[in-house]
Amino acid sequence: MAGPTGLGGSLGAALGDLLRAPVTPRHRLSTYNAKHWHAQISQLTGTRRGYEDLETAGLDVRPDTLFKWLSDPEYNIRRGYRDLIHTAYENVAIVPADPIPDHVKEGQYEISGWVTTGTDRRQRGT
């Protein structure tokens, strides 16, 4: 099985080491700091991911409506649409933490080398 390796004096220490391995924590992208709905939708429509998150958030408007919104920052849109834009913006701005790999969550471990339990010492996985 290929993947991360835990090191330690015991199986428990090795698994603990594996689970404490550095991961990228959840964080906010520094480029996403717009407050007004117009600035948020302008930034979202600049990327494919932004369009996808607008759709995921439930924003379903015709292209000409979207064009009107983008061309006029003073355009009056409904509160519900502003909330959907804000939700999509926050979804793009927050980068989730690295997930725990599936083989760790599912408990698929390979034990190799010398394994000692009490006074019993055996070679495993070779």
pLDDT digits (tens, 9 = 90+) for 60-70: 999 999 999 99
Q: Write down the pTM of the prediction.
A: 0.60
Among 15-19, 64-68, 69-73, 80-84, the range scoring the smallest mean pLDDT is 15-19
Instruction: Look at the block and give the residue holding tokens 């607008």.
Output: 54
pLDDT at position 102, please? 72
Q: How far apart are CA 106 and CA 6, in angstroms?
A: 16
